[in-house]
Structure 1
Amino acid sequence: MAISETDLRHLRRCVELAREALDDGDEPFGSVLVSGAGSVLFEGRNRVRGGDSTRHPEFEISRWAAANLTPEARAAAVVYTSGEHCPMCAASHGWVGLGRIVYAVSSAQLSGWLSRWGAAPAPVAALPITTVVPAAVVEGPVPELEDEIRSLHRACFAPGAVDASPE
């Protein structure tokens, strides 16, 4: 399935949420849950700065969906996110039975940026979502948003880094 204008609109909102997180002193990740009918059901951003490293927006979406949606509604929903799910979030997505995932940048992209900038790697392995949830329907990365998201992550994880090469 190709990325649609609707997908891009929701992903742009994820980038706005990631920017809000960064502006609040948190890591720049944002996510949106959209019903099968196209209604925004939940929005979230990273809230890990307080010390609870499980406060990822994708994990919050899974918790909210489990408490508020039927299994059928969860399966029809779409999760949009600025960055590909970490293994914890991917597992929660799979256990709750959420539908399609659309992400702007991949875990591999983020890991590569962190390495190039000399920043500390994430504490868990950067695995593709489908390694954790083999039946997941996943779309991404979305090149149109890569530069903006890379700049948010550079500001958070390597503020003094020079990134002459976007690759």
Structure 2
Amino acid sequence: MTISDVDLAHLARAVELAREALDDGDEPYGSVLVDAAGQVRFEDRNRVKDGDETRHPELEIARWSANHLTPAERAASTVYTSGEHCPMCAAAHAWVGLGRIVYATSSAQTGAWLAEWGIPAAPVAPLPITTVAPGIPVDGPVPELADEVRELQRRRFGL
């Protein structure tokens, strides 16, 4: 796994979006879609607080890219995200043909933190991206951002 300074900058933006989500009363997740030329094409944050649990930023990126990018542009793009894609988002990513995924923290890390804090597990199994979509190149977790993401998750639960 090679994480460049460019990767770290885009991941930092994803974590910033996660913080924005948390500050707005939502779950702290954020994602950024970057094209092959290094241009940010779309970004979003979690928007599940109103009851639609599918409003994950990775799913929104998949939907947006399916409507705005060619298959070749999608395949050459990278999605940066504060937390590893859930199975729903990993499947959407694969179905629309997006390229590389880089995530700051893994589902396993998040699960361990929740267990440590006595928080019940999510209703969906935290499968690794590579189990759901084995053909997608994936890099992560990125240790430099783990403490910051952990703190966002801790704040999410008022701990």
TM-score range, shorter chain: over 0.9
Aligned to 2:65: 65
Aligned to 2:22: 22
Number of paired residues?
Answer: 159
Aligned to 1:146: 146
1:90 aligns with 2:96: no
Alpha-carbon separation, structure 2, partners of 1:97 and 1:137: 12
1:3-39 Cα offsets, whole Å, 9 max, x none, are 0000000000001000000000000000000001100
Report deviation, 1:63.
0.1
Correspondence list, 1:1-167, <5 A: 1-157=1-157, 159-160=158-159
For structure 1, the residue ranges without an aligned partner over 5 or more in a row are: 161-167
Alpha-carbon separation, structure 2, partners of 1:135 and 1:30: 23
Q: TM-score by structure 1 length?
A: 0.94
SS at match of 1:48: coil
1:42-85 Cα offsets, whole Å, 9 max, x none, are 01000000000000000000000000000000000000000000
For structure 2, the residue ranges without an aligned partner over 5 or more in a row are: none
Alpha-carbon separation, structure 2, partners of 1:28 and 1:10: 16
Q: TM-score by structure 2 length?
A: 0.99
Amino acid at match of 2:119: A
Report deviation, 1:121.
1.1
SS at match of 1:74: helix
SS at match of 2:154: helix
Aligned to 1:164: none
